[in-house]
Structure 1
Amino acid sequence: MNSISEKIHALNEMVVQGKGLEALNKYYAEEVIMQANEQEPTVGKEANRLREEEFYSKVTEFRGAEPLKVAVGVGVTMVEWHFDYTHEEWGVRNYKQVSVQEWKDGKIVKEKFYYAN
């Protein structure tokens, strides 16, 4: 699995299966920068892992995640997602989100999420 296209599809499948943390470990660079909308970015794989663990620990019901569209370019991928879950602090969340990933040496080095609040 060498191409970015193969990797983003495999990563998406892991997210669909509820294996988001495993996908982070496998496909993200140690120096990854992740950012939601215009919030402050989270820098580094460990900091992002802790942020993701906190998020997943507060999901009380996971009804699904589906990649609706995937685009692959030179060093970049974009995925339109549909998420449906209940979060203990935010309540029922059913929304679409676009994530844009920048790749270097086969790993995601930057990812930004765009969604309506």
Structure 2
Amino acid sequence: MSYFDKISDIYDHIAQGTAMDAFEEYYAEDVTMILEDGTAVEGKDANRERENEFFSSVEEFHGIEVKGITANEDEGITAVESTMTVTFKGTDEPMDLEQVAVQHWDGDKIDTERFYGTQTD
């Protein structure tokens, strides 16, 4: 399976509400995820907890629009531009989370992922 196919599968999982299944399948145990503010979260356990906290803060998932996916198959690097629309618990209005995520792969697993993004209401 190509890196393009793998990253496409991850975003298909997000759209279907099964993002954590993709997380378990595609992320390395020692993954580093770098958040929009530059904070690095090290390890699959810490990132699993962070992801679960995010999803538990969502009242309603309205969908995700993938605007572009690219893959450098030789270097094992993928990138995705997307907008996710969610309503967070305790709020009344949906919010658009615009993001570019860049993944560096080691074989079949993502070992580093960096997020660039904004929140708009």
TM over 0.5: yes
RMSD of aligned alpha carbons: 1.5
**Counterpart in 1 of 2:83?**
82
TM-aligned CA deviation for residue 96 of structure 1: 1.7
- Aligned partner of 1:107 in structure 2 is 109
State the shift of 1:35 in Å.
Answer: 1.5
How many Å apart are 1:5 and its aligned residue? 1.3
Map 1:1-117; keep pairs closer than 5 Å: 2-73=1-72, 74-88=75-89, 92-117=94-119
Q: Distance in 2 between matches of 1:11 and 1:95?
A: 17
TM, length-normalised to structure 1 = 0.91
Unaligned runs of 5+ in 2: none
2:51 counterpart letter in structure 1: E
Amino-acid identity (%): 36
Q: In structure 1, give the amino acid aligned to 2:13.
A: M
Name the count of aligned residue pairs: 116
After TM superposition, the structure 1 stretch with the greater mean CA deviation from structure 2, 100-109 or 31-40, is: 31-40
- CA offsets, 1:60-111, max 9 Å, x none? 0110012110010121000001110011267632132100000001110000
CA 1:89–1:98: 2 relative to 1, 3 Å? farther
How many Å separate the matches in 1 of 2:63 and 2:57? 15
